[in-house]
Amino acid sequence: MRILSYTEKLETVAFTAKVLNDPPPRGKVYALAVPVGLPSVQSGGEDAELFRRYLAELVNEWLRCGKKVMPIGAEVWASHCPGGEPQWTHRLVPEQYSVPKRGHGSTKRKLRQPIDESDPAFASWLWKVYWDYLNRFPPTIWFNNLGEVFAWYLSSVASLPPAPPTALPPFLSVDNANSLAWLDAVLWFILFLNCGHADLLDRCRFCGRFFVRARGKRSGQVYKHGGPSCGNCKGVDSKERSSDSRAEARKRMWEVAACASADWKRTHRTPDRFSAVADRVNAECRKEIFITTRKDRIGPIWVKRNEKEIQERVEALCNAKG
């Protein structure tokens, strides 16, 4: 198989992101490169939009499954369906490995750990569609005189009429199961996975656009705040977290102020309610005060400005006490 350079692989991922994000320019279409002598697959108008929609469905499901087609430690077991028609059925089984037999030169097959059925990829339609396509449109493989292995995935237009599918995604009916837009989207998806850097593709959780990461995730790295963000949305995540933390701090200050206001009684030492409430908040909410005001203390003016929110909580405390 021809080894692509890093630049070519990155351009493959970047171009896939471009296809997913934007329709082609007017008068242009997205086309798959096919071997010489075969017609190229070019569809415009409604077919082009269907192709982009199907490709987006495949990539989104791949992202939902953790950027993998099948669960870790699983392999596909193919067998003939019972009946007269020569169809195949596929199911996931634990991955097998070979170990040498004691006293013999042969080996035996053993199963690895059971498949994690909680993995999103286990119940996904993605691996079924993936293997169904490879079963119906296997790649052409040959060796050259240097001993190099080449594999070409022919476009589905070269294999018409295709065999009936054995697996379909939930958004596709039997009537359009062999449409060129769908078959080309699956082929594009397979070529994208084979480019070597597919894990660099991500989808921004703010604007929803696909983008190419500068580097892949480290092993074991998880998102602490919901998901990835593109360069255009850089800082939005930080602003949201800051806004959420300020809101929580302000809520805490209102609750303390409400308790202080409900407990306040006019005395010689606390003649003013606003000052007494401010002192209580200063004593119990030093961290929250700094988060919301960037100061060390608040004064009676803060209590007056937040009187409405404080009184709402005072009434709730009184109703709770009965």
Per-residue confidence in pLDDT tens, the chain, 322 aa: 344 555 556 668 888 898 899 887 777 777 665 443 333 445 455 677 888 899 999 999 999 998 998 887 777 776 655 554 445 556 776 766 555 555 555 555 555 677 778 888 888 999 989 988 888 888 777 776 777 766 666 666 555 677 788 888 999 888 877 788 888 888 889 888 888 788 899 998 888 899 998 876 665 556 665 678 888 887 666 777 788 888 999 999 999 999 999 888 888 888 889 999 999 999 999 888 888 888 889 999 999 999 999 999 988 888 887 6
Instruction: Report if residue 308 sits inside a domain.
Output: yes
pLDDT at residue 37 in the model: 33
Q: Point out the domain boundary residue: 198, 215, 231.
A: 231
**Domain total of the chain:** 2
What whole-number distance in Å separates Cα of residue 80 and Cα of residue 84? 10
Structure tokens that stand for 140 in this block? 């052409």
Contact between 121 and 69 (Cβ < 8 Å): yes
Instruction: Report if residue 272 sits inside a domain.
Output: yes
Pair 309, 193 in one domain: no
Which residues, listed in sequence order, are joined to residue 88 by a DSSP beta bridge? Answer: 80
Pair 69, 186 in one domain: yes
- Domain containing 178 equals 6-231
Instruction: Report if residue 1 sits inside a domain.
Output: no
Instruction: Report if residue 262 sits inside a domain.
Output: yes
Q: Point out the domain boundary residue: 231, 263, 290.
A: 231
SS3 42: strand
Radius of gyration of the chain (CA): 31
Q: Quote the pTM value.
A: 0.66
Pair 117, 29 in one domain: yes
Q: Point out the domain boundary residue: 200, 231, 262.
A: 231
Pair 118, 52 in one domain: yes
In the DSSP assignment, the letter for residue 314 is H
What whole-number distance in Å separates Cα of residue 293 and Cα of residue 305? 13
Counting other chains too, the contacts that 305-311 makes at CB distance below 8 Å and 24 or more residues apart are 306/253, 306/254, 306/257, 309/254, 310/254, 310/257, 310/258, 310/261, 310/277, 311/258, 311/261
Pair 223, 242 in one domain: no
- Closest by Cα among 132, 112, 129, 113 to 121: 129
What whole-number distance in Å separates Cα of residue 194 and Cα of residue 198? 8
Q: How far lies 15's CA from each of 3, 11, 89, 221, 264, in Å?
A: 18, 6, 34, 26, 66
